[in-house]
Amino acid sequence: MIKTGLKELDQFLGGGIKGGLITSISGQSATGKTQLAFQICLNALDGGKEILFHDTTGEFRPERLVEMMEYQKINPSLLDRIKINRVTNTVEQLQSLTKTTFENYSLLIIDSVTDLFSFEYSKKEQSFEKNISFMKYMHTLSIIAIEMKIPIIITNTVRSINKHEKENLEESISMYIHNKIRLSKNGNGYSCQARSPFDNKKFQYTIMPKGLTDQS
């Protein structure tokens, strides 16, 4: 079990991120999705095994990860345990699952899970093909989580459409997700809504140089 660094979220999740489950972190830009994924990544370093981080956007920032490590007084040599895989198209994204030996890893993070599918299948007439390809990817991901019993974190983008928030490929993604974490901005700062098949909870958080923290 891996702590998220947010006490209320960990409590909701029964102690933290559990193995064998897919957890999604979604939200609009600048709500802290990747930073929360970094936080979980750093908290997994004590496990001894390596961590696999799939970067599909090209926006991975190692300097931010190092900054968080410094604030949390984590030995910088542990950074070697985090393996970054830059994924540039959907074929690579699908193959990255079938060509990896997951016994070596204690955590898999995909940031962001839908961006490449949305980019490559951007035309309206490609909607069916996009959803089929993406669901094939998510099905493979769910098998890995169950069979290898490792926790999987995926991030996803939320956009405002006609004043309503809409998560990318929400219908196709939801059937494979066990826990959903939605991050958003509001008048008081930032809000986290956590959902599971059995419960949901909402609480405030802040973004600090050391990462996401509970709002005091």
Question: What is the per-residue pLDDT across 132-162, written as a single tens digit (0 to 9) for each?
Answer: 999 999 999 999 999 999 999 999 999 887 7
Angstrom distance (rounded) from CA 32 to CA 205: 10
- pTM listed for this prediction: 0.94
* pLDDT for residue 197: 84
Given a cut of 90, whether residue 106 has pLDDT beyond it is yes
> Where do the domains of the chain lie, and which CATH numbers do they carry?
7-214 (3.40.50.300)
Given a cut of 80, whether residue 94 has pLDDT beyond it is yes
